[in-house]
A and B are shown apart, each in its own frame.
Chain A
């Protein structure tokens, strides 16, 4: 082809080279000048690595009444996951032998198979090995084997308070108890480091792109639980269960003047460090707050408190006990006949259902009617806070069940039953909190488990102040009368059970349970309860104790035979522990 103009070949070559140069320069200009920002960001992104700085989970402490200090219930310790990239493992047999020798109990699956699996780049060989094990394995210099550090919860006191504490699962989330309820406070907030790294992923210290947000460790919580009281409560409960060949029981110790829970335990329990081995998941729940039941005759104390406060009965008030009372055609019997004229104090002593119904009738002006039901409901729901969660720092918490007087189910028969603790479901924490209000002078304190936060200087800060939910549950005079009645009833019912010179009062409860086969109340699986207080003189008591045993194999009433001895054991120990003078 002939060009329309004359140009020599060298000159043409030069022109082509120059043209190519212009293209290259133009492209470079585009990449380096015009699109500089885009490629700069891409390059930075390539070299900029994000590192999560894990937050240390907060620790949980209990109080130690003997030293007025705190003792750890839950700590953290480093643990390691052992993994391997099978492509770099040189000697499968030797590696497996070494792992089995050092971390035999923590191995995951068939490690020979895992180590020989060249298709994968990451296989887990062992979990939760200790620092010492990790050091031994690291010193063995096994090619292709690496370690990932994490934290695990450790429990220096073993199973103590397992259900109120809860546990932390493999994802680091709290489950049940304090761990779940206050997970946000305990977990803290992980930090982040964005940094330019070298080829090995090691952050280079000085770069304008480096951003470091420090981790915020979780709060270290101090519970109101006293380690010594908790330990003794668990021991007393276990001994009590063993004596009556029962397997299920609960115990609660409270300070009635603040709502602080001093001890809270259930049996059977579990080892929170081995939560993954538990097969009966019901042991995870803290039955004291999650398991509502018909508390039985211990509720008579609260019905009586309502009657005393309304002025419709006095301790000396008498009624004619005929052994039964008929409400809307349904006969309600006593467990113990104790026929004749009986005082209100004797209603406690003989646990007379007819006496509780009598008080209810007096609330209605002398008969069972809507007024009586409304009045009892206003006390149970509005003052004793039944039917709603207490707000204690526990998960899950059951609100229980109380049927209102306007409900078709809330008839006279039900309310007659409710007056002595049947026909309504309450948790132990609800009943003990209401009872505390009834015997402390009439103030309902919200039950709580957290006392404060331990700061970096090991100083207790942010202490929880007692939260008054209802300041006039009953009048102080009614509260004083109730204490005296409960003290007299206990002294007469269980002479010699308490240390002399102290003012101990309480009430038994043996509630029937509904047989699932017949749908009727049955005596074969009664639940025994004891609810009482202790202190010095007829003043606000120092402690309230509630004990429940579910399946006692005893003849007689479970509340008296099986449960009361546990209360007495705990109460007498508390008198010495709190150094209460007679």
Chain B
């Protein structure tokens, strides 16, 4: 196996290799190196770059606004839940009041069961 020592750029320019024309070729070629140079067909000018940057900025802004809006919607959800909680607490308070009224002595005394009760004539204690 042939051995091709790694060359520095300076060294590659100074070494001699196979040549395809009579003009001096300063490039040095290695076996597995692509010798065809490709060029892009589209060149971006300064205006295009500015537009792309502007679009990217807009996208970033949009993403930012989306995030901010999402966090804001949590506020609405929380507000909605708090209103529901408040309504339930109000309902609970109403029911507690109604429960207390139904158990009040004044109410109990007016029930048919209470009206049918009589006082004991005598109280005896078992010793």
Which residues of A pack against B, CB within 8 Å?
71-72, 75-78, 131, 149, 154, 156-158, 160, 198, 202-206, 227-228, 231, 576, 579, 581-582
Contact = CB atoms under 8 A, between A and B. Distances in A.
A156 B77 CA distance: 37
A76 B100 CA distance: 11
Contacts of A76: 93
B26 to A, nearest CB: 49
25 contacts: A71-B100, A71-B104, A72-B96, A72-B100, A75-B97, A78-B90, A78-B93, A78-B94, A131-B90, A131-B91, A149-B86, A156-B97, A156-B100, A156-B104, A157-B104, A157-B105, A158-B104, A203-B75, A205-B75, A206-B72, A228-B105, A231-B105, A576-B123, A579-B125, A581-B125
A204 B125 contact: no
Contact of A205 (B74, B94, B103): B74
B1 to A, nearest CB: 66
B78 A75 contact: no
B101 interface: yes
Given A71-B103, A71-B104, A203-B75, 10 more contacts: A72-B96, A72-B100, A75-B96, A131-B94, A149-B86, A156-B103, A158-B106, A202-B76, A206-B75, A576-B123
Contacts of A158: 104, 106
B79 interface: yes
B72 A204 contact: yes
A191 to B, nearest CB: 13
A582 B93 contact: no
Contacts of B123: 576
A310 B103 CA distance: 52
Contact of B71 (A149, A205, A231, A581): A205
A72 B94 CA distance: 14
Contact of B79 (A75, A131, A202, A228): A202
Given A75-B96, A131-B94, A157-B106, A582 B71 contact: no
Contact of B97 (A71, A77, A202, A231): A77
Contact of B94 (A77, A206, A581): A77
Contact of A206 (B71, B96, B101): B71
A471 to B, nearest CB: 34
Interface in B70-123: 71-72, 74-79, 86, 90-91, 93-94, 96-97, 100-101, 103-106, 123
A133 to B, nearest CB: 12
A519 to B, nearest CB: 45
Contact of A75 (B75, B86, B100): B100
Contacts of B100: 71-72, 75, 156
B93 A75 contact: yes
A204 B71 contact: yes
A81 to B, nearest CB: 15
B110 to A, nearest CB: 12
Contacts of A156: 97, 100-101, 103-104
Nearest to B107: A156
Contacts of A204: 71-72, 75
Contacts of A72: 96, 100
A247 B101 CA distance: 28
Contacts of B91: 131
Nearest to B79: A202
A318 B22 CA distance: 159
Contacts of A154: 97
A88 to B, nearest CB: 22
A330 to B, nearest CB: 51
A210 to B, nearest CB: 9
B125 A582 contact: yes
Residue picked from B76, B103, B105, most chain A C-beta under 10 Å: B105
Nearest to B102: A156
Contacts of A228: 105
Contacts of B101: 156
Contact of B75 (A78, A160, A202, A579): A202
A77 B106 CA distance: 20
Nearest to B126: A581
A157 B106 CA distance: 7
4 A-B pairs closest in CB distance: A156-B100, A205-B75, A204-B75, A206-B71
Contacts of A579: 125
Contacts of B90: 78, 131, 149
A396 B77 CA distance: 49
Given A78-B90, A202-B79, A206-B74, A227 B97 contact: no
Nearest to B101: A156
A71 to B, nearest CB: 7
Nearest to A499: B123
A203 B71 contact: no
A423 B77 CA distance: 71
Contacts of A231: 105
A227 B104 CA distance: 9
B64 to A, nearest CB: 14
Contacts of B103: 71, 156
Nearest to B76: A202
A198 B72 contact: yes
A93 to B, nearest CB: 31
A348 to B, nearest CB: 29
Contacts of B127: 581
Contacts of B125: 579, 581-582
Contacts of A205: 71-72, 74-75, 77-78
A509 B76 CA distance: 70
